[in-house]
Amino acid sequence: MDRAIDSQLEDLKKLTLEMGGLVEKALVMVSAGLLKKEPSHLQEVFKIEGLINDLQIKIDNECLQVLAKQGPVAKDLRLILSIIKINTDLERMGDQCVNISYISRELIERGFLNSLKDIEEMIEAVTKMVKASLDSFVKMDPNIARSVLDMDDAVDNYKKKINQHSIQMMKTDVNSLQDHLDFILIARNLERLGDHATNIAEDVIFAFTGKDIRHGSND
């Protein structure tokens, strides 16, 4: 069946992936900026966030148009509602990247010396989650989406590890207190990025299976 709505839904999916690609790029720049202590990469994040914000409004508008003109039902309707929600999550992921960039910029300006090994690993774990959540959306694959939910524990464990270590360091070395507080805050922002990836995965499962698995309500 060749329907006008099909090409509109394809366009919406492409825009959503474009936005997802921007979030991935922002994460790469956050990582490069912080780990290489290179503020110019962090500056890129602020630019990318502007593009993400513009796309959010564009996608929301197009969803509204398709809903108003096509009156979609069943699977098509679920897909559009999922795109609206994924759109919101992606925009907030951009905000989280910006938050981390602000904190990182101050850390770099202060010339911090501490190891970023755990943060580097946590960024990798979150990046994997984000990639998999977008992959589940591209391939419309609820199994990949389910794998995202399983990755959340690893991210939470990194947060706990960074928390504990940083608190210990704050107690023993008052001079590095602000740096370690910043690591705690970066870890919380990264954890939230992971939460948004989880939301996206849940939306994909809902869009393609009709099952709402939030809050353990199903499955």
Residues making contact with a copy of itself (CB under 8 A): 53-54, 56-57, 60-61, 63-64, 67-68, 71, 73-74, 77-78, 81, 84-85, 88, 167, 170-171, 174, 177-178, 181, 184-185, 188, 212, 214-215, 217
Tokens read off for 152: 């959340």
Q: Least distance to a copy of itself from the beta carbon of 35, Å? A: 24
Q: Least distance to a copy of itself from the beta carbon of 209, Å? A: 14
Q: Least distance to a copy of itself from the beta carbon of 143, Å? A: 23
Question: Distance (Å, rounded) from C-alpha 107 to C-alpha 109?
Answer: 5
Block residue for tokens 């839904």: 9
Cα dist from 38 to 21, 33, 60, 79, whole Å: 22, 5, 34, 40
Q: Which is nearer to a copy of itself, 75 or 139 (CB)?
A: 75
Q: Least distance to a copy of itself from the beta carbon of 85, Å? A: 7
**Taking each helix axis from N to C terminus, what angle separates 39-70 and 4-35, rounded to the nearest 10 degrees?**
160
Q: Which is nearer to a copy of itself, 139 or 160 (CB)?
A: 160
Q: Which is nearer to a copy of itself, 21 or 71 (CB)?
A: 71
Q: Which is nearer to a copy of itself, 44 or 89 (CB)?
A: 89
Q: Least distance to a copy of itself from the beta carbon of 84, Å? A: 7
Buried b / exposed e across 47-81, counting CB within 10 Å, b at 16+? ebbeebeebbeebeebbeebeeebebeeebebbbb
Residues 6+ apart with CB under 8 A from 107: 34, 179, 182
Question: Distance (Å, rounded) from C-alpha 202 to C-alpha 16?
Answer: 16
**Taking each helix axis from N to C terminus, what angle separates 177-209 and 142-172, rounded to the nearest 10 degrees?**
170
Q: Least distance to a copy of itself from the beta carbon of 117, Å? A: 22
Q: Which is nearer to a copy of itself, 115 or 217 (CB)?
A: 217
With residues binned 3-state (H G I as helix, E B as strand, rest as coil), the percentages for the chain, rounded to 5, are: 90, 0, 10
Q: Which is nearer to a copy of itself, 35 or 213 (CB)?
A: 213
